[in-house]
Amino acid sequence: RDFIAAVKALQQARLQVYVDTVFNHKDGGDETETFLAQLVDRHDRNKALSDWFDIKGWTHFNFPARGNVHSSMKWRWHHFDSLSYNENLPHRKDDVYVIKHKSFETAVSDEYGNYDYLMACDLESSNAEVDGELRWWGRWIVDTLGVDGFRIDAVKHIRRRYFCDWLNHLR
């Protein structure tokens, strides 16, 4: 409610409103989950440093205070392709893990071999549930608030074609 009221107040003052949008990652999950992942070289994400092993990641996002208001989606480990923290090895803060049966997105910056991963829990935008949630959210923002546009954070970490499809959906 505060966000909606703030946007409406800005619009009543005849200011344009752009929503800062983070589609690359989520951080601060509500619970941990255990799943298979592989450690990769932080400076060359295409280079595996381990076999697959169980890690415990903060990938379960329930949003308990929200209930199902604004969205009923509960994010789980399979909505992400990589992450940086393993609760089983809390002293290792600079690791990058790829989740089993996942891969880094293509058509992103080629820094570090592939710069899909930036931080925290990296969204897998090719996942149908993730794509659906991001489209639903964008449509809700446009329909509810009538904003003038979006500022997209960490854009070089997300496959280029995704934003063409997402923006066309909003048009």
CA-based nearest residue to 18, from 148, 143, 121: 148
* Model confidence, pTM: 0.91
142 pLDDT exceeds 90?
yes
Rounded Cα–Cα distance for residues 162 and 29 (Å): 24
The model's pLDDT over 113-132, given as tens digits with 9 standing for 90+, comes to 999 999 999 999 999 999 99
CA dihedral 154, 156, 161, 166 (to 10 degrees): 10
The model's pLDDT over 21-76, given as tens digits with 9 standing for 90+, comes to 999 999 999 999 999 999 999 999 999 999 999 999 999 999 988 888 878 999 99
The answer to whether 30 touches 62, Cβ cutoff 8 Å, is yes
